């Protein structure tokens, strides 16, 4: 029945507001809650914690909460405090005694200091000295082990030890208090709930399923018109091969369709692991609905596919064979879905899942009996034939078709029925029973795959997240308690007035840091007009003000609100906002959650590309021109988006080289970057890899500072910062705010949105713009010393309660101005502001700043970007080079896949080039080459998609910042792929070529390498293109898979060019894989004159058979080479165009 607060020195930003609610609605009596306030304003946080307090006290629950920057009034809601430092408990006990304990140790919390902030700093070597109160004794650092020993001697420590020394009395607790089952409800209830949730998720993701159905309809229609029954006959063995080709394509198309299941499953795994570990349900409660609810969708897709294709292609017309065909297609989809769910459950990461899935598909494909017939498979590998689901699908579909009367009623020259001859030529069993064996095997594979998937979820855990170990920073404080720190020499070349730098002999304590944060000495008056002087930077900049008048912002009314009876066409998010931001003045933009803080900042900065904007924005008196404004402004996003594989200094150099004017020399840019790193305190991290948020690399606080530095190296005059302290503990927030204050002190205009600031951080701001829900201003003016101006303004409004002693003014302000307070007091704070003298002063200030000062001119830049297109390309290529070089999980994986694929195919097709006695042998060779390039190419496409998706997010931020245009960026990513694909092709070729025993001549080896290289390259660019035209990775993978089917169909392998209808022959020439197969076959066998046996025909030369069967001409190789290069350029250009 205790409500405990845990305070930690360094916290990671983990937004778990939904998780908190998820846990609270259950029967749980013990809750551990980590940083539940991240992203909430202080007033909302207070309400949430107060609600939890009531649950604890009324529901007799035990709750342990860790919070970031808890305000004093929030801290006071807790019963107990557990203070952790360096992995040891420094204090555990009632909140009322924690400050008493530290006073006995010689440290006291200052008057205007939150107890929580004090507790986080008092154990820190860098902050401890300022709280020392035993002036009669010299200060000495009290280490954490010393605090632990002192706590054991403290009366609460003794009491705690006494409680723990007494054994627990079981008789005092009823047996019903214990849980003897890992399920809180019955299995039937769990299944009912799981099915409901799965159905809801399928409805929410309906776009994906509709997309798959539409994709299936399109592919089915195309396949039907390629194999149209009016063009097919049932007279010869060759006709039978065409029908088998149609069946093979149907199998492959439905097998490839299951690949999307891996992506969908991976997206669900993180939530599943959380639910499993909290015993929400057992793994089979998750997998059973996941599998069974997909059955109707798969059945619908199968019915649509078969209804379109079966009779249009002209398969056997008997109804029984139609439904047997439908059953096999349905079972193929089920087996494919189970297989890729299993792969996702075993691999658990995107890159490994894609690679393993492609490798599994390759083996299943090659060992399916249609590329390499059963009789041609080496005896020691024949087990692979029986382990491939496509083996049974192929046998069942082929027997179902060829066992029909129209194929058995005809005979060939040796007296065998035509259908039997076709099956025997293909190496397929001829007995009727093999249909049911195939159907049963597919059903068995489906069950086995899904059972193994369930077991993988049962026994495997989520892949751990590696966290880089970075060198400890000094954070601007001396390592030794009394070490002296000097300010770096900074060249005074700015147009901003400057002051003397900080005394080089001063001892840096937190008090001085807070003074630096506030930007004023104890005797300084409030800064409410003009801007403050600051220290200069190595590059000049022009201080600029921003004024805005009557800003309104609307979006189209959401459909959900219209269904609830709302008749308006537009929803207003900002309403009549006016104000001004000035150089050297740090402005806080605050309001409750949903008040429109970030929306206003996006509108003013020009980041809003949708919706409807009204109002006027002026930059130093001139109307804002977004093209020039982007050049002299910076925007620090809340999400801290950076390229993960480059270092801190490289991130800053990239921004500086692209955003600073060309007139600034490279050396000056490097010096400026070093100055900014010193200002933002990043010197100790300059060689650290940035990493992915929450996965590896920099901590949240370090990423915040990097975000600020990336914008500052552009030398902007105005900087917007969206919640720079969210997700940070009090000490990390103080470091970031010191960074912000340093930036303001250079004379720049800085605006920050901020949530739940501590007293120190809130009072570090000079001015406040406060919004209420609905996007209306309720305060715009100076804070005043100790926030007295804000407090006085609201306390003058009738009915507003007085602020309590030691209460955080930010929390009090949001609380007394909340919507609930407006209803209680019957006051509209927006109207109160409009009728105040402050509003009149602000209107006058806005009017004054909306007129250009005499003798000034509007900003002008001769070009949109600082660098030329070539310069943009050069720097983008530099960054992409380092990104790829430091991405072994991408490059080594695809190299590994190419190596394994080459090795597997080399073993399966060992010396196949020497075994060419018939046309069937030649088709096996063609099939081996086709399978190799197709699967390695598809793997390149799949692997590149997540890489492009991650960098695309960074691209959006950098392009919005005006660093570069889309074309140089895309061209750099295109070019950087070339050397890696070259090495990949070299690895593949040097293994496959000798193992398959192709002819060792320089020309033929070169052509084989050339065709393979450009094939792998255009597949890579095709994958990049699919991401650029898709909203997310899931849609990109489905979109890419759709065209795999077309690539297969028109490749010339399953349907020779001579068999493709005239109305589709145009697409054959547009299919890149068709040119790949053309190039591989002709380059190796276009000039071979050896005789081979052709069923039903006299012996023919290899070159003649290739020309008659495939339509390939040896003299066409030069055109093939040009076209393959052309497809590569085409996909790259589409990517470059669509990425923007």
Q: What digits encode the pLDDT tens for the residues 39-86?
A: 676 777 888 899 889 989 988 889 999 887 788 888 999 999 999 988
Which tokens belong to 993?
């070529």
Cα separation of 810 and 816, whole Å?
A: 10
Query: Residue 465: which pLDDT band, with cuts at 50, 70 and 90?
Result: low
Mean pLDDT of the region 103-124: 88
Kind of pairing, strands 62-66 and 30-34?
Answer: parallel
Q: Rounded to an integer, what distance in angstroms lies between the CA atom of residue 672 and that of residue 669? A: 5
In this prediction, residue 538 carries a pLDDT of 59
Residue 589, strand partner residues:
753, 769
Nearest to 883 by CA among 980, 783, 1024: 980
Distance from C-alpha of 1033 to C-alpha of 15, rounded to nearest angstrom: 23
Sort 235 into a burial class: Cβ within 10 Å, 0-12 / 13-18 / 19+: exposed
Strand-pair category, 80-85 with 3-7: parallel
Number of H helices, E strands in the chain: 44, 17
Q: What is the mean pLDDT of the chain?
A: 85
Retrieve residue 1040's tokens: 């890419």
CA distance readout (Å), 682 to 263, 648, 752, 1046, 1071: 38, 8, 21, 52, 51
DSSP assigned state of 822: H
CA distance 174 to 187: 26
H or E element, residue 95: none
pLDDT digits (tens, 9 = 90+) for 957-1003: 898 888 999 999 999 999 999 999 999 999 999 999 999 989 889 99
pLDDT score at 858? 84
CA distance 52 to 47: 9
Distance CA(947)–CA(953), nearest Å, equals: 10
Quick: pLDDT tens for 171-183.
Answer: 777 666 667 777 7
DSSP state of 631: T
- For residue 486, the model assigns a pLDDT of 33
Angle ∠(17,21,25) on CA atoms, nearest 5: 175
Nearest Cα to Cα of residue 69 among 112, 38, 29, 106: 38
Q: Mean pLDDT, to the nearest integer, of 807-821?
A: 87
Provide the sign of the torsion angle of the four alpha carbons 340, 343, 349, 354, taken in this order.
Answer: negative
Does 515 score more than 60 pLDDT? no
Distance, C-alpha 853 to centroid of its chain: 46
Average pLDDT over residues 873-893: 92
What residues have CB less than 8 Å from 363, skipping those under 6 apart?
A: 384, 388, 904
DSSP 59-94: HT-EEEEE-SS--HHHHTT-SEEEEEETTEEEEEEE
Higher pLDDT, 526 or 224: 224
Work out the angle at residue 778's Cα, subtended by the Cα atoms of residues 821 and 111, and round it to the nearest 5 degrees.
75
pLDDT confidence of 523, banded at 50, 70, 90? Answer: very low
The percentage of residues in the chain with a pLDDT greater than 90, rounded to a whole number, is 47
- The model's pLDDT over 634-690, given as tens digits with 9 standing for 90+, comes to 999 888 889 999 999 999 999 999 999 888 899 999 999 998 898 887 888 999 999
Q: How far apart are CA 1050 and CA 1040, in angstroms?
A: 16
Is pLDDT at 262 greater than 60 in this prediction? yes
pLDDT recorded at residue 808: 85
Question: What are the angstrom distances between the C-alpha of 305 and each of 296, 320, 327, 731, 883?
Answer: 14, 17, 12, 61, 43
What is residue 746's predicted lDDT score, i.e. its pLDDT? 85
Give the end-to-end CA distance of the chain in Å, rounded to a whole number.
56
The pLDDT of residue 412 is above 90: no
The pLDDT, as a whole number, for residue 501 is 32
User: What is the three-class DSSP state of 635?
Assistant: strand
CA distance linking residue 474 with residue 483, whole number of Å: 12
Predicted confidence (pLDDT) at residue 118 exceeds the cutoff of 60:
yes
What is the percentage of the chain residues whose pLDDT exceeds 70? 90
CA distance 478 to 456: 51
Lowest-pLDDT range, 11-15, 225-229, 659-663, 916-920?
A: 11-15
Contact 548, 618 (CB under 8 A): yes
Q: What token pair was written down for 982?
A: 């070259």
Q: How far apart are CA 234 and CA 1137, in angstroms?
A: 48
Half-sphere exposure of 775 (CA within 13 A, CB side): 19
Task: Give dist(CA 867, CA 873) in Å, integer.
Answer: 9
Characterize the bridge pairing of strands 749-753 and 586-591.
parallel
Burial (0-12, 13-18, 19+ Cβ within 10 Å), 168: exposed
- Of 328 and 702, which is predicted with more confidence? 328
Q: What is the DSSP string of 747-768?
A: T-EEEEE-SS--HHHHTT-SEE
Q: How long, in residues, is the chain?
A: 1140
Task: Give the mean pLDDT of 1076-1085.
Answer: 94
- Asked whether residue 525 carries a pLDDT value surpassing 50, the answer given is no
**Nearby residues of 902 by Cβ (< 8 Å), 6 or more positions away:** 932, 987, 988, 991, 992, 995
């Amino acid at each position: 029945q205790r409500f405990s607060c845990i305070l930690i020195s360094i916290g990671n930003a983990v937004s778990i507001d939904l998780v908190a609610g998820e846990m609270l609605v259950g029967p749980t009596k013990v809750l551990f809650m980590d940083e539940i306030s991240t992203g909430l304003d202080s007033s909302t946080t207070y309400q949430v914690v107060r609600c939890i307090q009531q649950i604890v006290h009324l529901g007799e629950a035990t709750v342990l909460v860790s919070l970031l920057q808890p305000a004093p009034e929030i801290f006071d809601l807790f019963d107990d405090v557990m203070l952790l430092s360096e992995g040891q408990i420094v204090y555990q006990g009632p909140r009322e005694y924690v400050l008493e304990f530290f006073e006995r140790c010689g440290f006291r919390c200052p008057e205007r200091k939150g107890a929580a902030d004090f507790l986080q700093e008092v154990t820190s070597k860098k902050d401890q000295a300022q709280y020392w109160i035993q002036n009669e004794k010299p200060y000495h650092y009290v280490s954490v082990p010393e605090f632990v020993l002192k706590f054991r001697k403290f009366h609460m420590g003794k009491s705690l030890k006494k409680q723990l020394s007494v054994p627990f009395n079981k008789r005092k607790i009823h047996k019903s208090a214990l849980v003897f089952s890992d399920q809180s409800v019955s299995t039937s209830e769990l299944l009912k709930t799981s099915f409901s949730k799965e159905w809801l998720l399928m409805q929410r993701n309906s776009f994906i399923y509709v997309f798959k159905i539409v994709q299936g309809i399109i592919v089915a229609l195309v396949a039907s018109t390629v194999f149209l029954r009016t063009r097919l006959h049932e007279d010869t063995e060759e006709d039978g091969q065409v029908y088998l080709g149609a069946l093979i394509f149907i199998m492959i198309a439905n097998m490839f369709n299951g690949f999307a299941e891996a992506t969908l499953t991976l997206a669900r795994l993180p939530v599943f692991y959380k639910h499993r570990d909290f015993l929400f349900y057992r793994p089979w409660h998750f997998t059973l609905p996941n599998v069974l609810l997909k059955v109707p969708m798969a059945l619908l897709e199968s019915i649509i596919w078969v209804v379109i294709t079966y009779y249009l292609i002209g398969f056997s017309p008997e109804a029984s064979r139609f439904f047997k065909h439908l059953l096999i297609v349905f079972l193929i989809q089920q087996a494919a879905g189970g297989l890729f769910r299993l792969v996702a459950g075993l691999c658990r990461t995107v890159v490994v899942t894609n690679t393993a899935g492609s490798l599994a598909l390759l083996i299943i494909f090659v060992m399916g009996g249609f590329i390499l017939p059963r009789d041609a498979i080496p005896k020691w590998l024949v087990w692979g034939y029986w382990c491939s689901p496509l083996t049974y699908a192929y046998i069942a579909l082929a027997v179902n078709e060829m066992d029909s009367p129209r194929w058995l009623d005809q005979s060939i020259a040796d007296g065998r029925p035509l259908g039997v001859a076709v099956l025997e030529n293909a190496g397929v069993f001829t007995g009727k029973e093999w249909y049911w064996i195939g159907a049963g095997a597919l059903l068995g594979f489906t069950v086995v795959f899904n059972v193994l998937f369930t077991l993988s979820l049962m026994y495997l855990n989520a892949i751990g997240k590696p966290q880089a170990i970075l060198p400890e920073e000094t954070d601007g404080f001396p390592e030794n308690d009394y070490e002296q720190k000097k300010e770096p020499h900074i060249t005074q070349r700015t147009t901003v007035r400057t002051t003397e730098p900080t005394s080089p002999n001063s001892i840096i304590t937190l008090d001085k840091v807070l003074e630096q944060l506030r930007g004023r000495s104890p005797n300084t008056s409030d800064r409410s007009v003009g801007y403050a002087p600051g220290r200069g930077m190595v590059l000049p900049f022009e201080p600029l003000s921003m004024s805005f008048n009557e800003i309104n912002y609307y979006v189209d009314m959401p459909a959900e609100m219209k269904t609830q009876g709302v008749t308006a066409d537009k929803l207003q998010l900002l309403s009549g906002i006016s104000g001004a931001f000035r150089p050297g003045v740090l402005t806080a933009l605050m309001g409750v959650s949903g008040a429109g803080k970030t929306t206003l900042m996006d509108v003013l900065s020009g980041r809003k590309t949708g919706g409807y904007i009204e109002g006027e924005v002026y930059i130093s008196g001139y109307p804002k021109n977004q093209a020039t404004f982007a050049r002299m402004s910076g925007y620090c996003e809340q999400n801290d988006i950076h390229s993960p594989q480059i270092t801190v200094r490289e991130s800053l150099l990239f921004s500086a080289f692209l955003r600073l004017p060309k007139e600034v020399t490279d050396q000056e840019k490097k010096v400026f970057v070093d100055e900014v790193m010193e200002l933002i305190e990043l010197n100790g991290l300059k060689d650290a890899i940035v990493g992915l948020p929450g996965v590896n690399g920099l901590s949240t606080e370090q990423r915040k500072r990097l975000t600020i530095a990336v914008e500052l190296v552009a030398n902007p005059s105005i900087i917007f910062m969206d919640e720079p302290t969210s997700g940070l503990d009090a000490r990390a927030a103080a470091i970031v705010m010191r960074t912000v204050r340093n930036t303001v002190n250079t004379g720049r205009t800085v605006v920050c949105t901020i949530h739940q600031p501590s007293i120190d951080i809130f009072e570090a701001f000079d001015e406040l713009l406060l919004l209420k829900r609905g996007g209306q201003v309720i305060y715009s003016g100076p804070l005043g010393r100790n926030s007295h101006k804000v407090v006085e303004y609201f306390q003058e409004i009738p009915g507003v309660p007085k602020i309590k002693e030691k209460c955080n003014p930010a929390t009090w302000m949001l609380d007394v101005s909340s919507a609930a307070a407006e209803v209680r007091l019957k006051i509209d704070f927006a109207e109160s502001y409009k009728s105040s003298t402050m509003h009149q002063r602000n209107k006058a200030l806005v009017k004054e700043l909306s007129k250009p000062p005499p003798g000034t001119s509007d900003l002008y830049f001769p070009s949109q970007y600082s660098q030329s297109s070539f310069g943009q390309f050069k720097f983008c290529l530099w960054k992409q080079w380092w990104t790829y070089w430091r991405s072994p999980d991408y490059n080594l994986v695809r190299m590994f896949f190419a190596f394994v694929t080459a090795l597997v195919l080399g073993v399966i097709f060992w010396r196949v080039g020497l075994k060419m006695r018939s046309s069937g042998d030649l088709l096996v060779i063609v099939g081996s080459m086709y399978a190799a390039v197709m699967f390695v190419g598809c793997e390149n496409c799949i692997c590149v998609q997540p890489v492009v998706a991650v960098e695309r997010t960074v691209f959006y931020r950098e392009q919005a910042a005006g660093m570069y245009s889309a074309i140089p960026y895309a061209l750099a990513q295109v070019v950087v792929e070339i050397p890696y694909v070259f090495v990949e092709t070299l690895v593949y070729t040097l293994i496959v070529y000798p193992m398959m025993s192709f002819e060792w001549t320089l020309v033929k080896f070169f052509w084989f390498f050339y065709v393979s290289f450009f094939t792998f390259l255009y597949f890579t660019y095709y994958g990049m293109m699919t991401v650029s035209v898709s909203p997310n990775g899931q849609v990109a993978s489905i979109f890419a898979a759709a065209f795999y089917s077309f690539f297969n169909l028109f490749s010339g392998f399953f349907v020779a060019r001579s068999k493709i209808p005239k109305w589709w022959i145009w697409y054959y020439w547009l299919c890149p894989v068709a040119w790949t197969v053309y190039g591989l076959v002709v380059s190796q066998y276009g000039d071979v004159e050896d005789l081979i046996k052709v069923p039903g025909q006299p012996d023919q030369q290899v070159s003649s058979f290739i020309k008659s069967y495939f339509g390939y001409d040896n003299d066409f190789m030069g055109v093939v080479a040009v076209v393959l290069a052309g497809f590569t350029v085409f996909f790259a250009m589409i990517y470059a165009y669509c990425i923007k």
